[in-house]
Amino acid sequence: MEFKHKKLVNGLNVIGEVNKHALSAAIGFFVRTGSRDETDDISGVSHFLEHMLFKGTDNISAHEVNRIFDDLGAQYNAHTTEENTVYYAAVLPEQLQEVTKLWCQLMRPSLRDEDFDIEKNVILEEIAMYKDYPQFEVIEKCRNLHFGSHPCGRSVLGTVESITALTSGQMREYFESRYSPDNITAVIAGNFDFEKICQYIEAGCGNWQPKEAGRKIEYFAGTAKRNYERKHNLFCRHICLASPTVSYQDERSYVATLLAKIIGDSTDSRFFWQLVDTAIAETATMHCDAMDGVGAFFSYIRSSEENGPKVLQITEQIFESVRQEKISAQELQRAKNKVLSGMTIKNEIPMGRLIELGINWVYLNKYRPIEEEIQRIKDVTLDDLTALLADYPLVPFTEFSLGPEN
Partner 1 sequence: MTEKIDTYKLSNGMTVLGIPMASVQSAAIGLLLPAGAATIPDGCCGAGTIIADWIFRGTKDKTNRELADALDGLGLLRNSNVESKHIALSAALDASNLLEAIELYAQMILNPALDSEQFEYSKQLALQGLLSLEDDPRHETMLLLKEHFYPDPLGRNTAGKKEDLQNLTAEKTKQIISENFDLSQTILAIAGKYDIQKLRPLTEKLFAGEKPKSKKEINTKEPLLDYHHHPHDGSQVHIGIMTQSATPQSGDYYNARVATAILSGGMSSRLFEEVREKRGLCYIVSAGYHCLKETAGIACYAGTTPDKAQETYDVIIKEFRRLAEDIDADELQRAKIGLKSGLVMQSESTMARAQAAATDHYILGKVRNLEEILQNIDKTSIKSIVDFLKNNPFENFCSVTTGPVKIKPV
> Is residue 143 within 8 Å of residue 152, measured between CB atoms?
yes
Pick between residue 19 and residue 253 the one whose CB is nearest to partner 1: 19
Closest contact distance (angstroms) between CB of 255 and partner 1 is: 19
Beta-sheet strand order (sheet of 283-290) = 226-231, 398-404, 236-244, 295-304, 283-290
**Smallest gap, in angstroms, from Cβ of residue 293 to partner 1?**
31
CA dist 405 and 387 (Å) reads: 42
Do β-strands 25-31 and 75-80 pair in parallel, antiparallel, or remain unpaired? unpaired
Element (H, E) at 344: helix 329-347
How far apart are CB 351 and partner 1 at their closest, in Å?
Answer: 7
| Nearer CB in complex with partner 1: 90/389 | 90
CB nearer to partner 1: give 235 or 390.
235
In SS3 terms, 304-329 reads as ECCCHHHHHHHHHHHHHHHHHCCCCH
Quote the least distance from Cβ 103 to partner 1, whole Å: 15
Q: Is 170 helix (H, G, I), strand (E, B) or coil?
A: helix
Give 379's contacts (C-beta < 8 A, 6+ positions apart): none
CB of 107 to partner 1, least distance (A): 18
Q: Any residues with CB less than 8 A from the CB of 340 and at least 6 apart, and which?
A: 374, 377, 378
CB of 72 to partner 1, least distance (A): 7
**Closer Cβ to partner 1, 133 or 209, answer by number:** 133
Comparison of 66 and 81: residue with beta carbon closer to partner 1: 66
Angle between helices 62-71 and 96-106 (to 10 degrees): 160
Answer yes or no: are the C-beta atoms of 358 and 187 closer than 8 Å: yes
If the CB atoms of residues 142 and 246 are measured against partner 1, the closer one turns out to be 142
Nearer CB in complex with partner 1: 136/367 = 136
- Alpha-carbon distance 71 to 101, whole Å? 14
Nearest CB to partner 1, comparing residues 2 and 218: 2
Half-sphere exposure of 13 (CA within 13 A, CB side): 21
CA 376 – CA 252 distance, rounded (Å): 10
